[in-house]
Amino acid sequence: MAKPRNTKRVRLEELFRWKHDLEIRDHNEAVVLTVYQRIINDVEAERARLAAVRKRSEIRLALRDVDSDEHATLMEQLEGYDEEHLVSVVMLEGIEKLRERADEQVRINFPKHPGEDGTMEEVEEYEEAVDTFDDRYSEELIRTLEDLVEKEKEVIKTKPAHDLRVLVEKALENQICGSISTEILYQYYTFYGTYTDKNCTIKYFADFSDFEELVPQVSKQLVTGYRSWMLAPDELKN
């Protein structure tokens, strides 16, 4: 099975940017503060990851505690779901695995070069096939995924109401925990990576509680600034 090519190009100078400045604005869009952010080191990244894991575990326990507010809120949310919504929640939980299955089933081979003995027409056909390969692969992947999704939906719909509810509760639990975990992770990234000076030597926050006490308008801008500036690992691939 051929894989689609990643034709996205990354500007080389972006690969070596490890810090930037960020302007914080008020509700009138006036700049009220300028901070500096840098890529955090491995030790800080591990601390951030552990903090996110701890928070995820804490939320999961709360969701499973039938006497907690979190569990009550989850149950209230479930009561408002019809069957179609329940099925959609379960599908969302398993969509990545379905995507992997679809990827394995796609049978489109990358064009083979005609070689030095190829005619001009064969070379032209080859080049056209190469240029359209990613689009053809993506179209086939989407078609295959859609087929798998429809089949999976039918399987889920045949499950007894109790079994479906159990699947939905588990799916919602994972989605909630994952969302909060990611939020905490980037909050800690921002906490560790924000400075008061351009050389990034003076930490802006002395303690994480200082970050937590920020007004939402400011903390959101700090986190958004850090997240939008970070270069995701997949974007480094070419």
Q: How confident is the model at residue 17, as a pLDDT? A: 57
Residue 83 has pLDDT above 50, yes or no: yes
Contact 115, 83 (CB under 8 A): no
Contact 142, 108 (CB under 8 A): no
Q: What is the widest separation between alpha-carbon atoms in the chain? A: 76
Q: pLDDT digits over 211-228, tens only? A: 999 999 999 999 999 998
What's CA 104's distance to the chain center, in Å? Answer: 22
Contact 24, 35 (CB under 8 A): yes
Residue 148 has pLDDT above 70, yes or no: yes
Strand partners, 195: 36, 203
- Sheet containing 19-25, strands listed edge to edge, beginning at the edge strand earlier in sequence: 19-25, 31-38, 194-195
Q: pLDDT digits over 85-140, tens only? A: 889 989 988 888 999 999 999 888 888 888 888 888 888 888 888 888 889 999 99
Contact 212, 188 (CB under 8 A): no
Token pair for 205: 């926050």
HEC string of 7-20? Answer: CCCCCHHHHCCCEE
Q: How confident is the model at residue 92, as a pLDDT? A: 87
Residue 153 has pLDDT above 70, yes or no: yes
Token pair for 42: 């491995």
pTM surpassing 0.85?
A: no
If we measure between CA atoms, which residue out of 103, 95, 81, 91 comes closest to residue 154?
Answer: 91
Token pair for 120: 């001009």
